Structure 1
Amino acid sequence: MSHSALETGNRQKLQKNDQIRIRKDIRSLTQDELDHLINAWIFVQNNEPDPDTLPDNPNTVSFFNIAGFHGEPFRGAGYSSSQWWGGYCNHGNVLFPTWHRAYLLCLENALQQYDKTVSIALPYWNEIDTDGNNPIPKIFLQKTYVFKNGKEVPNPLYSYKLASAIRDRLLPIPDADYSKYKGYNTVRYPFSGLVGTPDVATTDAHNSLMQELNTLKDGTTDSLLQSNVYNWLRATVINDQGVTVGGSTADNYIRSLFAPNYTVFSNTTSAEKWNDDRFDDSSAGGLGTADDAVMPLERPHNAVHLAVGGFEVPGIPSRSYIPDANGDMGENDTASFDPIFFFHHCFIDLVFWAWQTKHNQDTQLDLMEFYPGTNSVDSQGPTPGITGNTWLNLETPLNPFPRNSNASSALLVFLLPEVYVDANQCHRM
């Protein structure tokens, strides 16, 4: 591995333990490891929502229910009011890294139920070390998967077929309806997943055009996806208007490791306040340069979501080279239904751990109290079960995951190589 910045920190040698889960770069998995991973994913995707079980049960083994913890199907006040967020995920506040860490462990626990005798962990999509101009590992682009014994099955990491319909009663953004019908298959750039009533005609025409490109040359849309993600990760981003709108996301991951404290590292809201107080763009006599600005982990995280999904909404500048590309990863409502979401977030969690070890905060996290990004109304708005104007801290519940759950007692090992993480110490749940 070449990115030494991710290899810094206080490496802990863990004792042999039945609960150790080894998270590896997905490109490094053996055939047997991939076979087991695919079988476990098929298991959770085939477990349809149980109508007799609470949909927000954190011990569920239904992928539909687990994916639904993040955003849609919305619940509580956020079901029909844009002032509240109807999903449990946290964005734009200090709980962004910790909530998603608990979320990953929830899915890992479900995957473990496929075969309790074999330890399983989510591999990470290494977004810094790429395969030339093809940053997305091939496993995510293959429609079928062939096991070691020659058996071929639909690839559960390529797409997910919704086990139930999702109705969007919120519509906070004009002309964007994120309703999905039962049997809908998640899509990525350059396709569109806007299949609500106002958008379905445009989406059908757009997706038909994309399929025609594949007819002319097989794999064209995969190449477009790889190119788009590469441009976000490694090169300057130019949108369909020829306007430069961003730089290297891979570099931003590394820059985030130098954020001076957890609060500004963790989210965009806090980082923006930090930078606003220290840099004056209105004059040459500002307090620093752009290179000195804090880079929050959430920013490159957001960039990869947009790169994989694409996103276009009237009135919002496009960051996509292909108009009308609106894949699921590009919007928060249904991003978690795309299986690649969890491998992306596994890498985010790895960078989070690298920051912790670099700054000697592997056993605790220090917050700047009452700072922007520490209130439930910041950014997305309050999540279900959290009242408005609630100050957030490390004791704030990471709903729907219970405190001291099995998820918090599991040991994780990241192989980067030999970057170790003890989830029991890293989680305040």
Structure 2
Amino acid sequence: MTYTRHSIQQLQEWYDAGNREPLDKFVRAFKHIQSLPADHEDSFQKLGGYHGEPFHYEKAPSNRSSKWWGGYCFHGCVLFPTWHRAYMLRFEQALRTAPGCEDVTLPFWDECAGLVGRPSVGLRPHHLIPRVLTTRTYELDGQTIPNPLFSFKLKQKIEDLTVGEEQHYSKPEGYETVRYPLSGMVGTREEQENTKIHNARFSDAESERLLNVNVTNWLITGPRHIHTRQGAKPPSDTTSVLARYLKCLDTDTYTIFSNTTSQTKSMEKLCRERNEGHWLMSLESPHDGIHLAIGGFFQQGEDGTNADEIDDANGDMGDNETAGFDPIFFLHHCFIDYVFWQWQLRHGATETLTIDEADPGAKVPEGGILDLPEGEQLTMDTPLPPFVKPGEKNYYTSKDMVNIESLGYTYGSGSLDKHHAPILHAPHVPVKQVVKISSIFRNKHKGSFVIRTYATGPGCPEPIEIGREPILNRWNVSQCANCQNHLEAVSMIPLDAEMLALLLGDDWEKENRTVDEIKYQVEIHSRSEKTSNNEIRKRGKFFFSPTPLVGRLVPGGGVPAILKPPVFNVPKDMPTVEHLLRNKSLPVEQRA
């Protein structure tokens, strides 16, 4: 039998219209698995821990290196969509163990509902996140209960095993998950006191308002619409989460669609080997943005909303260790699976998926992952532990995850449905230059962060945000080989003709202006930290008034030698900015 996963907005709408049963059943099932003991196979704590903590050191090989990874989840590789599809299927099976809930389905939070085809950037939804996910209590079976979709109280402590440091991300039994603007830092006594003071500043109503504002800003805020002249076309939006969801649906291959590693490497390869600029997008990138939006990273809106950062905001969704313990995680990932299915429908990929085995995102990282040895090719036959086929001892593989109808479910109406194609098609961005921001290493930053890139030029003296790359990271990278072996975080920024005209002036070509006249500012927007002097250390800012290096010939990996595009000199341990396309946006001597 095939069941339909509806959006949580649909369940909320039915509930408000008097049909309470679908939402009541889902809440009842969620309440049931949250009530189970921590070690129960169907308990929320057990299932939430599959994504990050606790790590599974009992599976470590005897000769494991420090780069061995003790977690299950796949990120930054071609198995990201299929592993998480198996994860959502397993979670849904657990929900159906609740008495009277044998046919319950996992709803998806339709993150783009009400946003697609907006007539104006000033039109903002009041409740982008349905109320059932943000209210503390719920009326069920004639009783007022703690809302199981609002938060989860740990049945068992989780420990941050950071070597040589205090356990910042340890959580005691009874800890309750939080979202932006609140803090969940309770690892030390001092942090517990600071968190208590911080969280007391916000009422439930204010927390709900700020969360909705922040998530909405992440979804819809692109480059500011500054016009170089009356009637000028604004630069293309390549930064907002909504634009990235729409763009990933146009991605031609599963490999690039599946993960950020393949996405960024493919963009760079096209630039270096073919001198072609393309804006490519994976599903994983907007996925990361929503994690950070809920987990504590603020985003200012085009209309000035949410102008001030809340320093101590530190929600559980913002870090891989704890994200799976927030109930909204599963509705978010159900939406990710819905987008995955919509991509499959558009590209005729409902029966088979093809992985490019030569792609950097198709290898097991150095050190190995649980039962997968180092360097092994990731294929459609790679096991997806810990998810076992019903009635068998074998793990699911990605081949099992291709057709969702064969898995017993399908999706109800959503904002990105295929029949909306005329208004959903992402605008073509004719790329004139690609800026690569690199030399940013995950092990230099505790937890997740955002690479924000701003630019000014002769035509635009006020900084404009041209790049916004969310990096979903682990707090303790030294414990995570999957993070260690994808240590460098990269932001690839496509610049279209409108952006160049904005930064360099409308007549930049006639005036012989080039991208060397653009000044860049890179911000590493990371968690605020207390220093030894009890001062707040905020995000790092790096300014560039670039002086390009002289181009030099370098071998190009099986292609003819090419003139290396300019790389800007920067101090040690600071980001590197590089123009990748050799064209008339560069000075004449660098265009060869």
Give distance in 2, aligned partners of 1:419 and 1:247.
22
Q: 2: CA distance between counterparts of 1:48 and 1:294?
A: 44
Aligned to 1:167: 159
- Given that 2:78 and 2:362 are in contact with CA atoms closer than 8 Å, whether structure 1 keeps it comes out as yes
Equivalent position of 1:353 in the other structure: 341
Aligned to 2:184: 193
Equivalent position of 1:114 in the other structure? 98
CA apart distance, 1:320: 9.0
Mapped to 2, the partners of 1:81 and 1:155 lie a distance apart of 43
Instruction: Indicate if the aligned counterparts of 2:160 and 2:167 stay in contact, CA closer than 8 A.
Output: no
Q: CA deviation at 1:205?
A: 2.0
CA distance in 1, matches of 2:162, 2:363: 23
3-state secondary structure, aligned to 2:385 = coil
1:105 corresponds in structure 2 to: 89
Q: Give the alignment partner of residue 28 of structure 1, picking from 10, 15, 18.
A: 10
Among 47, 50, 54, the alignment partner of 1:66 is 47
Per the TM alignment, residue 310 of structure 1 is displaced from its structure 2 partner at its CA by: 1.6
Which stretch shows the higher mean deviation, 175-184 or 64-73?
175-184
TM-score, L = length of structure 2: 0.58
Runs of 4+ in 1 over 4 A off after TM superposition: 77-82, 403-409, 417-420
Percentage identity across aligned positions? 40
Counterpart in the other structure of 2:28: 39
Aligned CA distance change for structure 1 residues 45 and 22 (closer, same or farther; 3 Å): same
| Change beyond 3 A, Cα 1:78–1:248 | farther
Deviation for aligned residue 1:236: 4.0
Cα shift readout 1:274-308 (whole Å, capped 9, x = no counterpart): 0011236xxxx9522xxx31100000000000000
Partner letter of residue 390 of structure 1?
Answer: E
Counterpart of 1:135? 128
**Partner of residue 194, structure 2:** 205
Equivalent in the alignment of 2:388: 402
The question of 1:277 aligning with 2:269 is answered: yes
Alignment map for 1:371-386 (pairs within 5 Å): 371-377=359-365, 382-386=368-372
Cα distance in structure 1, aligned partners of 2:276 and 2:65: 40
Residue 76 of structure 1 and its aligned partner are, at CA, apart by: 2.5
CA distance in 2 between partners of 1:85 and 1:135 (Å)? 36
User: How many angstroms does 1:168 deviate by?
Assistant: 1.6
For the aligned residues, what is the CA RMSD? 3.1
Cα pair 1:188 1:329 within 8 Å, conserved:
yes
Contact map agreement 2:177 2:315 (CA 8 A) in 1: yes
Deviation at 1:413, TM superposition (A): 1.6
SS of 2:24's partner is helix
For the residue of structure 2 that corresponds to 1:152, the secondary structure is strand
Q: RCO (CA 8 Å, sep 6+): is it higher in 1 or 2? A: 1
Q: Please state if 1:326 is matched with 2:326.
A: no
| Aligned counterparts of 1:137 and 1:82: Cα–Cα separation in 2 | 43
**Residues 55 and 71 of structure 2 are in contact (CA less than 8 Å); yes or no, is this contact kept in structure 1?**
yes
CA distance in 1 between counterparts of 2:130 and 2:193 reads 28
Conservation of the 8 A alpha-carbon contact between 1:309 and 1:331: yes
Q: Which amino acid aligns with 2:202?
A: L
Letter in 1 for 2:241: T
Aligned partners of 1:176 and 1:194 also within 8 Å: no
C-alpha contact 2:29 2:101 (8 A) present in aligned 1: no
Secondary structure of 2:294's partner?
Answer: helix
> Could you tell me how far 1:82 is from its partner in structure 2?
5.9
CA distance in 2, matches of 1:21, 1:323: 43
Letter in 2 for 1:99: W
* CA distance 1:47–1:92, shift in 2 (3 Å): same
- Give the aligned length: 367
For residue 373 of structure 2, what is the aligned residue in structure 1?
A: 387
Once residues 276 and 405 of structure 1 are traced to their aligned partners in structure 2, the CA distance between those partners, rounded to angstroms, is 45
Shift of the 377–170 alpha-carbon distance from structure 1 to 2, 3 Å rule, reads: farther
Distance 1:112 1:176 in 2: 36
Which residue matches 1:223? 209
Answer whether contact 1:68 1:87 (CA < 8 A) is retained: no
Deviations 1:333-358 (A, max 9, x none): 01000000000000000000111111
Q: How far apart are residue 163 of structure 1 and its match?
A: 0.5
Moved more, 133-142 or 411-420: 411-420
Partner-residue secondary structure (3-state), 1:153: strand
TM-score, normalisation: structure 1: 0.78
| Separation of aligned partners in 1, 2:308 and 2:86 | 31
Deviations 1:158-205 (A, max 9, x none): 000000011121469x777321111110111111212212xx524532
Aligned equivalents of 1:44 and 1:416: distance in 2?
Answer: 27
Bigger Rg over Cα: 2
- Structure 2 equivalent of residue 8 of structure 1: none
Rate the CA distance shift 1:363–1:246 in 2: closer, same or farther, 3 A.
Answer: closer
Q: Deviations over 1:189-230 (max 9, x none)?
A: 111212212xx524532442332232xxx6112211111111
User: How much does 1:414 deviate?
Assistant: 0.2
Give the 3-state SS of the residue equivalent to 1:400 in structure 2: strand
CA contact (8 A) 1:134 1:230 kept: no
Helix, strand or coil for the counterpart of 2:169?
coil
**Structure 2: which amino acid aligns with 1:270?**
S
* Structure 1 pair 344–237 and aligned structure 2 pair: CA distance change class (3 A): farther
Post-superposition offset of 1:87: 1.6
* Higher share in helix: 1
